Structure 1
């Protein structure tokens, strides 16, 4: 049917073969978030909610996209996409409880506004860092593709978010892997107060799709019929022909970034121009001109929605505040996991550390058919250390995936696989490179279960450590970056037997695990290891030697330095405790040994300040002070980056200093 526009309309609507019932339904769907927002602005002024990010003027985008998708397809919205939540029919009192920090919300009062997800309604909320949800959408879409499900995933970002590296990484990954992701850019003119002219130079953000081989479109974000019909057609096409699509919605933000920001930085004429393009008022005029809506019907729709808002707001307001329970808070940081025990048994063979990691990974791939490995050069090449050599032949390229060089995007993709109930192992080619993926690890994976009960079933393998002449960027042992972060588990084996069993347990564990593998141990340490699949519990230290004179605590390469020292000086009677896991930490084993010997030295390869040894020393001083016969001694590397030359590296590492410090402690 022809487009029609009355003198009261600033938007050219087209019925696009939509029925009158569909057109009215779209109006009601847009009207609901608008009326909720108007109520929230009143509550904000009354101090009944703490913050509000307004989407007034942008309702057509979230509403149109949500209505165009199937209810079992995931949407990853942002602050201004209230229409996604109402479109998925979330009970309003739960939204109101969420915004008031109450238990009926989705985060138990632990996060605010729209920073939550819900599997029930297939919505995965954002974090304040904006970019990571784009890569998470890639992971969800990858899971759909691997499971042969004809579904798409929609993810939102603002024009400001397209400047973040996550946006470019996510687009590139989706393009290379043909992932059915609908990337929705809401170009509303300003990133807080910074206009688009100061954010990018391309004429249209949709043009950015060209560089990644992604088809892209520009849609009038205030025109609900255009949004709904065009997205519906794209969604149906993407289900049949999986591929990413980038859509730029031209719109405007009529209120501040959040209400406290205001809009004084926006020229008045620009505000007036966009006020004339209000998506709801223009659409209302169109429906009236089409004879589909009468004033009294419109009033009835509004009254019905307002009554629902008031009813649910009263229910949420009557709900008591969160009861503080420290046990619950601590318990919810990780998903509860009861390790399924597989005892080491059967035939053994002497293998290297690197072979044990490869064997453990291979047997886990056999055990978990939904396990995906991702990393740079891990497929046909077998990885730079050849740990996954031959895996493509056994498991195929769908499950053993070479990735572009984009650590952040791949960690986010792993998170998306977990949303869909799949497991993943991500190989950092070198642990040093994890800094390029730091944000999603510490701010998404680590916090997601505590925030809204979603687990991150991801293991990140971290080839690490010095002693191989690799210099400052390939030699770090950076476990302390992660032991500081609640929500992550950190494992650091020193022997082939432990590496295989702990890797199997890490993969079984539904929580995110940073799995450190010391490169210098890969081909230098050999041990008898069972050939069959087995597991070892995380959080259990190994007592390698027993003695009453001193307790030596270490992990990774430090364990072998300590063993060498004790072998050279057999007269030293020491407990040697190999921690194996740094989080969870076997505190009981540490305290038991310290109470027995009265002296303790902690050896780590990392530089001393801020390392795990510092925390262990503090814990011992607090809990075992009366048992100590000497100050707790810490030994670590120099407070410098890791040097390249052999002489400098030997001086950097604490191996020789450990021997001196141990002797001084014994003589104290």
Structure 2
């Protein structure tokens, strides 16, 4: 192996050696503890230390780095306290996730490290968002993100590279090509000679680096980082290396040819570098012994701290309270100066006033810039706020949601417009697995709002008409808003943007231009979790939200003999359960109507809660009315039969007569 010292002095050369030795010694200790049953799982990075250490040393302390399982050297080089690392792996309180996640599934803002999730791909988009925040603030920084060769087959990899290239984001995409994705060899994973060949398609620079040569890794990455700070742009790196142990220890390496293992064993990054430094007289056996004794003492003393720490304990209240970041709702009163506008105008107004309030609020979505979005919500925004804050995106929902998460990690706010709520399925993974879980896992907030134009009744067919709120109300960590009137649409949206937690705001496109209302001109907010009693009656209770609110009011106007409470939920998570119980206890009869299909929807949960908590107050069975259990059809007559409006009227009359 050839080493080129270049401008590095002996102290720097020794520092690189010691930095690699430390994670190797920790790993060797962990393997012993694993055999003793003192830790539950281990993903080994033995043989890949030069990559983690070299890249981390090339970055500045204030620059974010997003590692994976085999990047222990990132954490040790950033001087993460070992007792906290060991407690993390033991599921102890001093760990970074308080026993809620294991191994390297965590981040630490103090050390500018953002850990991966098991779905791998989203962290690449998160790196885009972190780098975007730096770029917008004109901070000359680099963000480095790791992935394996296996994850380069995921769509998130390609989306993230494309976004970074289009936006000239200073992201260092680091592929550790270690030969196998679990047991699948590279020849079965991709069909190009080198993975960096893919960079050409995205208009990116790329480099192949010997991942087992610490000096090549450090000097080349350092050079590239300096260049990226001067002229921001993404670069794709492929580190050629090898995984000397199993995907995780239980997997073993029987699927690897013995000849290949022996070949790479000779390329050990630490043994070869050690030999080189000894030959140069820079390193001595005495220095090696000193390093090993020092590191061993540090490992053992910190292991004792972790082992002596009691097992994690918690309670129901604590666990529930830490799903979301604490939010102190700030009330902004409505002014008496109002204007009669459409729901679509109210959404636009709330978004515009929020952009004025928060200078670091970024809006992202397809066609939202000069075009103003397909519903013209952001028309005129680029002239007022600039294209850097109102950003057209490629068609890549997953990467953009992940980028919004990255903006939040780097201290900004983000609003993502799904062109249609149906398309959120292409960004589903980062919403439910990253945004929703990140605060519970390691205390990081996801300051992200996702706007969801939704709903049927406009002849848009199966792919542009869903009202899919139940996908998300089931997921702890998300908040869900669904206004039916213009003033609510504005006030709930401004609150959503104030929220430090991820919020999905459903906006029924059938109501955009058909529903008018008096909306205060000023900036105001409406609290989450407070339903609105639109009508008060004694005969029965109607609980609903979205477009179904208007169906209920229209049908009640046809039947003045029905004296009913009409409760507009407005927010579905958090849900105003107390208001639901109050109206049921008052009238004794409940009908719940939703536009979504019946099974697994909001109505089912409300019905169950009422049966469990208000059974003795009921004078009739709870009724649920919803759309047919089919996709949304296109033809007008079919769509009318799909929607529950007519069935709701029949069910309402039946319940009234019960």
Relative to the length of structure 1, the TM-score reads: 0.98
Residue 148 (str. 1) matches residue 142 (str. 2) = no
**Matches of 2:528 and 2:320, distance apart in 1:** 18
Residue 604 (str. 1) matches residue 594 (str. 2) = yes
Equivalent residue number for residue 490 of structure 2? 500
**Matches of 2:130 and 2:283, distance apart in 1:** 40
1:420-477 Cα offsets, whole Å, 9 max, x none, are: 1100100000000000000000000000000000000000000000000000000000
1:280-305 Cα offsets, whole Å, 9 max, x none, are: 00000000011111112211111110
**Matches of 1:294 and 1:485, distance apart in 2:** 57
Equivalent residue number for residue 27 of structure 2? 37
Equivalent residue number for residue 203 of structure 1? 193
**Aligned-pair distance for 1:99?**
0.2
Equivalent residue number for residue 167 of structure 2? 177
**Matches of 1:571 and 1:339, distance apart in 2:** 40
Greater CA deviation, 12-21 or 138-147? 12-21
**Matches of 1:507 and 1:557, distance apart in 2:** 23
Residue 46 (str. 1) matches residue 48 (str. 2) = no
**Matches of 1:333 and 1:115, distance apart in 2:** 16
Equivalent residue number for residue 293 of structure 1? 283
1:80-129 Cα offsets, whole Å, 9 max, x none, are: 00000000001100000000000101001000000000000000000000
Residues 526-605 of structure 1 mapped to structure 2, 5 A cutoff: 526-605=516-595
1:3-44 Cα offsets, whole Å, 9 max, x none, are: xxxxxxxx2111122111111000000000000000000111
Match of 2:395 among 395, 405, 427: 405
Equivalent residue number for residue 25 of structure 1? 15
Residue 366 (str. 1) matches residue 356 (str. 2) = yes
Residue 240 (str. 1) matches residue 230 (str. 2) = yes
**Aligned-pair distance for 1:324?**
2.1
Match of 2:220 among 230, 242, 251: 230
Equivalent residue number for residue 469 of structure 1? 459
Residue 424 (str. 1) matches residue 414 (str. 2) = yes
Equivalent residue number for residue 116 of structure 1? 106
Equivalent residue number for residue 335 of structure 1? 325
**Matches of 1:28 and 1:632, distance apart in 2:** 69
Equivalent residue number for residue 638 of structure 1? 628
**Matches of 1:570 and 1:511, distance apart in 2:** 42
Residue 660 (str. 1) matches residue 653 (str. 2) = no
SS at match of 2:278: helix
Question: Any gaps of 5 or more consecutive residues in structure 2?
Answer: none
**Aligned-pair distance for 1:185?**
0.2
Equivalent residue number for residue 3 of structure 1? none
Match of 1:512 among 490, 502, 517: 502
**Aligned-pair distance for 1:346?**
3.1
**Matches of 1:421 and 1:292, distance apart in 2:** 44
Residue 163 (str. 1) matches residue 153 (str. 2) = yes
Equivalent residue number for residue 87 of structure 1? 77
Match of 2:265 among 254, 259, 275: 275
Equivalent residue number for residue 373 of structure 2? 383
Q: How many equivalent pairs are there? A: 658
**Matches of 1:445 and 1:84, distance apart in 2:** 24
**Matches of 2:314 and 2:334, distance apart in 1:** 43
Residues 64-83 of structure 1 mapped to structure 2, 5 A cutoff: 64-83=54-73
Residue 483 (str. 1) matches residue 480 (str. 2) = no
**Matches of 1:420 and 1:285, distance apart in 2:** 41
Equivalent residue number for residue 6 of structure 1? none
**Matches of 2:600 and 2:578, distance apart in 1:** 22
Equivalent residue number for residue 121 of structure 2? 131
Equivalent residue number for residue 14 of structure 1? 4
Runs of 4+ off more than 6 Å: none
**Matches of 1:296 and 1:137, distance apart in 2:** 42
Relative to the length of structure 2, the TM-score reads: 1.00
Equivalent residue number for residue 341 of structure 2? 351
**Matches of 2:312 and 2:565, distance apart in 1:** 46
**Matches of 2:16 and 2:562, distance apart in 1:** 80
**Aligned-pair distance for 1:559?**
0.2
Residues 418-457 of structure 1 mapped to structure 2, 5 A cutoff: 418-457=408-447
**Matches of 1:88 and 1:548, distance apart in 2:** 65
Residue 219 (str. 1) matches residue 209 (str. 2) = yes
**Aligned-pair distance for 1:180?**
0.2
**Matches of 2:337 and 2:294, distance apart in 1:** 72
SS at match of 2:519: strand
Equivalent residue number for residue 449 of structure 2? 459
**Matches of 1:91 and 1:614, distance apart in 2:** 48
SS at match of 1:120: helix
CA RMSD of aligned residues (A): 0.5
1:206-244 Cα offsets, whole Å, 9 max, x none, are: 111110001000000000000000000000110110000
SS at match of 1:284: helix
**Matches of 1:324 and 1:50, distance apart in 2:** 21
**Matches of 2:636 and 2:107, distance apart in 1:** 50
**Matches of 2:329 and 2:279, distance apart in 1:** 65
SS at match of 2:111: coil
Residues 258-269 of structure 1 mapped to structure 2, 5 A cutoff: 258-269=248-259
**Matches of 1:53 and 1:473, distance apart in 2:** 41
**Aligned-pair distance for 1:48?**
1.0
